[in-house]
Amino acid sequence: MILGATVRAWDQYASLVDPTGTMDEKRAFVGAMLLHTEWGRIWIAQVVLAAAAWWSFARRAWPVTLVLAAGLALTPSLAGHAMGDQSHRIVTIAADALHVAAASTWLGTLFVFALVVILPRHEGALACVRAFSPVALISASTLAITGLWASYVHVGTWSAVLGSTYGRTLCIKLALVAAVAGVGAYNWRWATPRLAGGEQHALRNSARAELLLGALVLLATAILVATPLPGEMTGM
């Protein structure tokens, strides 16, 4: 997250700074960008929270890590499209934060799970799968509910779904999420019972597929948050 924040800060700086300015003017611009804009203040909060989370995670201070993770899940909402909802801002920000937290819980846990349990043929794989399944189901349900709310708030009309870049990108993301959910359902209904019989091959393959689709969902999300809303495109 810290590395990604560094890249984002450089991109923001390169996009906005006057390339003909002096070095002093460019340094002053960096200070103004980070300290005197809403984007900069949220960026600083993300870096501080990420560094603190790294420290607490390394020391296995799980309650502190959980609080910091919740704070990190909230920061994208404070710097994204959710802030533009004038009618239901608090609800939309809360829903957006829950959306981020649910996606992180699902895909992040799946990544660690596949890395340390499924791929190396861990002996306790079956118990871990059964423990992970409720987490995945709750996360997927939360994603669906909060995603529907965000679609209602940000897209608004059916014509904007296919009639705007944001709406079309959202459709691609939803299709990818549905594919991830389908692979997860396969794991739950078919791969896990086969794992109980000692066969790990099916679960390993489906876990790889789920992670790949999850990465594509994150890519679509990154494009989505940088895409103007339908109302912004039309000047409404």
Residue position matching structure tokens 């959306």: 99
pLDDT of residue 189: 76
Rounded Cα distance, 118 and 64, in Å:
28
pLDDT mean for each 10 residues of the chain (236 residues): 91 91 92 92 94 94 94 87 78 91 89 74 74 85 88 79 85 88 80 71 78 89 85 51
Per-residue pLDDT at 63: 95
Q: Residue 28 has which token pair?
A: 């002053």
* The pLDDT value given to residue 23: 92
pTM: 0.79
pLDDT computed for residue 234 by the predictor: 46
DSSP string, 146-213: HHHHHHHHHT-SHHHHHHSHHHHHHHHHHHHHHHHHHHHHHIIIIIHHHHHTT--HHHHHHHHHHHHH
Q: Tell me the C-alpha distance between 29 and 17, whole Å.
A: 7
The pLDDT assigned to 87 comes to 78
Which pLDDT does position 130 carry in this prediction?
Answer: 81
Strands of the chain (E only): list them: none
Handedness of CA 149, 178, 168, 111 (dihedral sign): positive
Q: What's the confidence (pLDDT) of residue 121? A: 65
Report which secondary-structure segment, H or E, holds 130: helix 125-154
Q: Is 173 exposed, middle or buried (0-12, 13-18, 19+ CB in 10 A)?
A: buried
Amino acid 235: pLDDT: 43
Instruction: Give the model's pLDDT for residue 71.
Output: 93
Give how far Cα 81 sits from Cα of 4, 92, 194, 227, Å: 20, 9, 43, 9
